[in-house]
Every structure is written in structure tokens, then in C-alpha cells.
A and B are shown apart, each in its own frame.
Chain A
Amino acid sequence: MSSNYLSGKEIRAIAKENKKVMKRLEAYKYRKADESEYLTQMRDSSNILEIDSLHTYFFTEQGVVKAVNGVSFDVPQNATVGVVGESGCGKSVTSMSVMRLLQGPTGQIYSGEIRFKSKDKDGVEKVYDIAKMPMDDIHKIRGNQIAMIFQEPMTSLNPVFTIGQQLDEVTFIHNPDASKEEAKAKSIEMLNLVGIAMPERVYGAFPHELSGGMRQRVMISMALASNPRLIIADEPTTALDVTIQAQILDLLRDLKTKIDGSIMLITHDLGIIAEMADYVVVMYAGRVIEKGTVEEIFHNPMHPYTIGLQKSKPTLSSDSDTLFNIPGNVPNPINMPNYCYFKERCSRCVHKCSGDYPEMVQVSPTHFVACHLYNEE
């Protein structure tokens, strides 16, 4: 295919355009701003996080990659929201946007709102628009109100510091006056909480002396040490074996009730979603294509992609030797067409599918789907 080939002239034009936009967005990111600039209101007060038509772009040499292209979903208080989709569909980029951890200057939040209901030490609730927060103020919520667990426990801990040093740091961030002993006591308490057998020994150990499961537990304890209101778990069990997976998931479920917070669980494993989540968001090529409660998505999937995903799950009951798969690949994220991104792979294509990208259709109070099949008009 020749669409990947770019002439020198085109590359220069792209670079020039990118530079302009990146410069503007970087300046916006590092500006000094008064709190009033990013204070906002929640649409529904029972939510803790509302993502509203979020666009996160990567300005690459080949063109603008719209990794997240208008994603909207809510995370209600005390709920677990599962975000599913195949690799490269933008689930991790969505979570990185919420944490404002995108690698600048190429990765930028282009537009959209990320409203988060924060609660400071005195219990005062304020709603911040994370997408508009300047980087200088991001510590108000990052690692403090929202904590994140990453998918690679093997490389997510700094190899040259002990577990204790890295855990104590969290205490010191939130309580700079804490003494060394207090920090250590808190860290050991956290290690106990995540079920580490010899917390005293692990406290003094270096990351390379621990197994993958232990490291992920340490990562979770690190995320919990700040009493977050929202935990973002980005494929927390992908790198672990199945028995450890189950233990880590049990741990997360227990902790959610203990800390009385919400979890945004990112995974491509439908089994984990079925077990853990209250709500499910299905993403495809940077867009949400279906969202609803876990029962709705599993018992009444509506989007052909979601149906395909359900079918491709391996089951013990079926007699078939081969696993169902959805034909084709995820489209190239540069220069996306303005029709349904799933059109080329869809088995239920209708005439309307060649038209504009389908709008979200509400099929029940909680169930939404972006497909022309369910569009009445």
C-alpha cells in the first residue's frame, strides 16, 4: 500500500504543522494559571471522574496519530469501570491522559474535558478539569487523589533504590514533616495491607530481589499509600502468571472496599472484566463504541465488534477446534476516515455504514452503542 509512503515535501509540511501545534500545546501545559481557570462542575454528582470527548493526539513524523479520538465515559463513585479493547485502541493513552503522564512534546491532550471530583485533607470537594490543569498544579491530584498501577511490574520500580526508600517517598510527598520512623511504619503497614509476608525484609530489599507478583504488590501498596479516591490499574496482571493474577485481582477487589474508592481497570482480558467490573467501556481505534453495565455488555452485546469479542473468547463448552476471530486489522490511526472504523471488518454492514461516523445511541438508561444498526432514523 502506498499510503505509508511520504515524500520529503509532505514530511516537511507535517513537521512544520506539528511544530506549531506542539508549541502551542506545550506552552499551554506549562503556563501559570489560577485555580479558577480549571475549576468546573460535574455533570452528575454521583460520578468521581467524567471524561468528556477527550482527544489525545501524538504528533509524529508520519502525521497526527489520533490515539484517543473523542472518548467519553464516566467512573461513578465506589464502582469499578473496566475499559476493554485490543492493543493500540487507546485504552492506555486514555489513562495516561487522566494522569497527565503523556510523553511530551509529541503526546498531547488536544481537546476535551477530564472532570475529577477531588477532596482535599479537610474534606472540601472541588471539581477540577484535569485536561486544563497546568503541570505545576498537577501534583494536587496526581499520586494523591488518583494513583496508578502499571502493567510492567518488572520495570516499574527504580532499580537503584530499595523498596523502602521508594515507598517512604510517597509518605513524604503527602506529609513532608513526617519523621523517618513514621514513614517506615506507614510503608510497612502498606506492605502488610497488600499481603506481603515479610514486610520488614521486603522493605530493605531492592526491586530485583523480588518476584514479579511481589513487585506488583509493592506497586499496589505504593498506589494505596496516598489514600487515593481513584485507582487506575493499567493491565495490572498482564505480565503475571495466572495464579498470581487471581491473587492480585482479589487484592484489588478487597482494597476497593477498604479504601472506599473507585477503580478504572484497563485490560484486554474479558474474563477479568466479567469478574471485577460494574461498568464496561469497549474501545476501538481510539473511540468508545459501546458502554454499559457489565450485565448489558456480556448478556446483550450490541455492537458487532463487542459481539465478535464475546465470540472469540475461548470456552470449555464449545466443541469447535478453532477459535473465532474477527477478520482484518485495526485501521491505521493516521488519517482516519469519517465513517465507522469497524466498517471493513464488520459482517453486518448496511448501506448507511458508508456515511458519517455513527453517533452514540442510547438503548437503555445505562447502555450506549455507536452503530448505525441501532440508529432509528
Chain B
Amino acid sequence: MFKYILKRLVMSVFILLGVSMIIYFLIRLMPVDFIQDKINAINQGGATVSEETVNAMYEMYGLGDNSFWGILKGYFSWLSALARFDLGTSFVYGIPVADVIFEHMGVSFAIALIATIFEFLIAIPLGITAATHQYSFRDYLVTVLVMVGISLPSFFFGQMLKDFFALKLGWFPASGLVDATASYTGLSLFGDYLRHVFLPILTIVILSIGPRMRMTRTNMLEVMNSDYIRTARAKGLKESVVINKHAFRNTLIPLVTSLAGLLPSLFSGAIITEQVFDLPGIGNIALDAMNRGDIPFIMGYNMFLALLSVIGVLLADLMYGIVDPRVKLE
């Protein structure tokens, strides 16, 4: 087991190296130029920037040479900094990338965690009832509602919720994370946070229940039709025990493993939802960085997610070994 994990971790290093190289090259080839935008801004202010200053700025940011060897050199200098645990300094914010990530991750993580918990708590029972009452009114109702949820785009649905609950009814604040006009402290500040994240969480939960519920339903149906469920019934077990013990324990296998695979999405932030509700989450920041060509931040953010993905996949495989006795990890 230990050997298996070690082997996987060593493999992960190579995966991450490949991922970082691809991302770095892609960003450098992106038609966004942070320096040019900056100079344009200065020019608009009325001042003029000399050719030499421009070149010096390109050199300073390490973006002078856009040939293949130049990009490769840039990549290795990024990599050697990483080896010293330095993700570099964000172009836009002027502070270390790691600080930017950790500063904004909290909000996104809290929202994603709460949303994921509710997603599972709602989707799994719905999936099970839909499966155990297949083709009944209940099944169709759940399936249709969930289908509607899947089909709604988050920018539309989020905006609808905002319009109705925040602007029309005024039950929740429309945007931001704190009420700027009031100065809350302690528990009331926490309450204010909750009021602000309620609608974003609601949006994410309703939109993500669908796939999870469909997955539970499909798994449950497959399990309910298996021979060992017939055996459990033939034994004389009550139907509730058959469903909640024998069938559910088997349905749990793919669910638990998919849970481990969710790890990166807990930290990645919900880009569009955060934008709709104007939350200072990491998704919002990342989109902004992408638009402005903040290369160190994009690299840092994407590598962070790549690392989490690799760990998530490893965790999912380890989970398999725990929840499914048939799987042995070598």
C-alpha cells in the first residue's frame, strides 16, 4: 500500500512537469500582452514612454524573447524558482502569487464546500427514490426537475435568483461578501457573510444536483437489478433493509470515489457564479488574471489545481480500495 502510494506520487511529479510545460507555452502564445496594456494605459495618461523603457520593461518581466528558445528559457526560470518554493510575483497585484491565491481561496472554498455537502445530501436521496420507484410519477417528477436544473446556465439562473430574491424582494444582498455600509464584528459579521453567500450557494447547488442525482439513480437501478438484491429479498429481509443496506452500500462505491475526485473543484472557485454575484473568490480573480495576461498568477493557479487533481485521482483510487473489498491496490 505504502509502496503503491509512493509509486503514484513519483509518477505525479512527471505528470505535473508535463502539465506545467504545456500551460506555460499556451499562456506565452496567448494574444494578451500585459506590458503593452500597461504602456497603453500610461500613454493614455498623456505621458510618453521611450522605446528603451519599453524594451527594459519586457526584459524585466522576462517576456523579451518570444521565440521558442526564449519561451523555453522563461519556462525553466519559472521552474527553478518553483524549486525554491517561489511561485513568483503577480504582475497585476505586485505581491507573491501564493499570497494572492490564499487570500481569495477562502471564500471560494467555503462556498464550494457548503454547496458540495448540500449537493450530496439532496441528490443522493432523490436518486435513490427515483430508482426505487422507477417509472412512477415520483421518478418522472424528480427527473424532469433535475433536467431543468442541468439545462439552466449559471449566468442566467444566478441572475434570475439575484433579480428576484435580492433586487425585488430584498431578502438577500445582491453582490459582494460584506455589507460595506455596516461595520459588523464577531458573530454578526459571520451572519452577514452567510447572507451574502446564500444565493451563490443556492445557484451552485441547484445546478449541480442534476448530474449527481442521475449518477445515483443509474447506479442504484443497476444495483437493484442485481442477483444479490434478489438474494437479500429471498432471505426475508424487509424492503427498507434491502434498499438502505444491501443496495445503498453498493451504490456508495462510485459515489465515494467521485467525492475524492471533487477535490480540485473545491478550490478552483466558481468563475461565472462568482462573477454574477461579484464575490472576491479565486475564480473571479483567475478570470481577471487570464484577461490581463498575469502569467505568474495563471501558472501558480493552474499548477495548484493540477496538483489537487493529481492528489484527487490518487485519493479516488485509494478510496476504491477502502469501500470496495474486491479492489486490491498493488
Q: Which residues of A contact B233 (CB under 8 A)?
A: 101, 142
* Interface flags, B132-166, vs A, CB<8A=1, else 0: 00010000000000000000000000000000000
* Interface flags, A130-163, vs B, CB<8A=1, else 0: 0000010001001110011010100111111100
- A144 to chain B: closest residue by CB: B236
B121 interface residue per 8 A CB criterion: no
B237 interface residue per 8 A CB criterion: yes
Contact (Cβ within 8 A) A150 B235 = no
Q: Which residues of B contact A314 (CB under 8 A)?
A: none
B253 interface residue per 8 A CB criterion: yes
A302 interface residue per 8 A CB criterion: no
Contact (Cβ within 8 A) B227 A156 = yes
* Interface flags, B225-238, vs A, CB<8A=1, else 0: 11110111111111
Contact (Cβ within 8 A) B235 A206 = no
A260 interface residue per 8 A CB criterion: no
Q: Indicate which residue in A99, A159, A169, A222 contacts B250 across the interface (CB closer than 8 Å).
A: A159
A93 interface residue per 8 A CB criterion: no
Contact (Cβ within 8 A) B135 A105 = yes
- B253 to chain A: closest residue by CB: A160
Q: Which residues of A contact B238 (CB under 8 A)?
A: 139
Q: Which residues of B contact A103 (CB under 8 A)?
A: 225
Q: Which residues of B contact A144 (CB under 8 A)?
A: 236
A208 interface residue per 8 A CB criterion: yes
Q: Which residues of A contact B246 (CB under 8 A)?
A: 158, 161
In whole angstroms, how far apart are the Cα atoms of A173 and B234 in the complex?
Answer: 12
* Interface flags, A219-260, vs B, CB<8A=1, else 0: 100100010000000000000000000000000000000000
Judged by DSSP, the binding face of B is helix
In whole angstroms, how far apart are the Cα atoms of A155 and B226 in the complex?
Answer: 8
Q: Contact size class for A?
A: 20 to 34
A68 interface residue per 8 A CB criterion: no
In whole angstroms, how far apart are the Cα atoms of A317 and B66 in the complex?
Answer: 89
**Shortest CB distance A259–B (Å):** 17
- A174 to chain B: closest residue by CB: B236
Q: Indicate which residue in B228, B237, B249 contacts A155 across the interface (CB closer than 8 Å).
A: B228
Q: Which residues of B contact A226 (CB under 8 A)?
A: 235-236
Contact (Cβ within 8 A) B236 A139 = yes
Q: Indicate which residue in A160, A173, A219 contacts B231 across the interface (CB closer than 8 Å).
A: A219
Q: Indicate which residue in A135, A152, A170 contacts B227 across the interface (CB closer than 8 Å).
A: A152
- B226 to chain A: closest residue by CB: A155
Contact (Cβ within 8 A) A150 B236 = no
In whole angstroms, how far apart are the Cα atoms of A335 and B246 in the complex?
Answer: 38
Contact (Cβ within 8 A) B250 A150 = no
Contact (Cβ within 8 A) A160 B249 = yes
In whole angstroms, how far apart are the Cα atoms of A155 and B325 in the complex?
Answer: 15
Q: Which residues of A contact B249 (CB under 8 A)?
A: 158, 160-161
**Shortest CB distance B114–A (Å):** 30
B324 interface residue per 8 A CB criterion: yes
In whole angstroms, how far apart are the Cα atoms of A329 and B250 in the complex?
Answer: 39
Contact (Cβ within 8 A) B230 A222 = no
B3 interface residue per 8 A CB criterion: no
Assuming the contacts A105-B135, A206-B326, asked whether A157 and B235 have C-beta atoms less than 8 A apart, the reply is: no
Contact (Cβ within 8 A) B326 A173 = no
In whole angstroms, how far apart are the Cα atoms of A99 and B237 in the complex?
Answer: 13
**Shortest CB distance B183–A (Å):** 54
In whole angstroms, how far apart are the Cα atoms of A155 and B232 in the complex?
Answer: 12
Q: Which residues of B contact A160 (CB under 8 A)?
A: 249-250, 253, 323-325
In whole angstroms, how far apart are the Cα atoms of A160 and B325 in the complex?
Answer: 6
- B224 to chain A: closest residue by CB: A103
Q: Which residues of A contact B323 (CB under 8 A)?
A: 160
**Shortest CB distance A176–B (Å):** 12
Q: Indicate which residue in A147, A150, A161, A173 contacts B237 across the interface (CB closer than 8 Å).
A: A173
**Shortest CB distance B89–A (Å):** 51
Q: Which residues of A contact B236 (CB under 8 A)?
A: 139, 142-144, 170, 173-174, 226
Q: Which residues of chain B (238-257) have a CB below 8 Å from chain A? A: 238-239, 246, 249-250, 253
In whole angstroms, how far apart are the Cα atoms of A105 and B239 in the complex?
Answer: 15
In whole angstroms, how far apart are the Cα atoms of A101 and B232 in the complex?
Answer: 11
**Shortest CB distance B329–A (Å):** 15
**Shortest CB distance B179–A (Å):** 50
Contact (Cβ within 8 A) A169 B234 = no
Q: Which residues of A contact B231 (CB under 8 A)?
A: 150, 156-158, 219, 222
Q: Which residues of chain A (40-84) have a CB below 8 Å from chain B? A: none
- B325 to chain A: closest residue by CB: A206
In whole angstroms, how far apart are the Cα atoms of A235 and B72 in the complex?
Answer: 68
Assuming the contacts A158-B246, A169-B237, A170-B235, asked whether A150 and B325 have C-beta atoms less than 8 A apart, the reply is: no
Q: Which residues of chain A (150-192) have a CB below 8 Å from chain B? A: 150, 152, 155-161, 169-170, 173-174
- Chain A residues with CB under 8 Å of chain B are 99, 101, 103, 105, 135, 139, 142-144, 147-148, 150, 152, 155-161, 169-170, 173-174, 206, 208, 219, 222, 226
Q: Which 9 A-B pairs have the closest CB atoms?
A: A143-B236, A155-B227, A158-B228, A143-B235, A206-B325, A148-B234, A156-B227, A156-B231, A208-B326
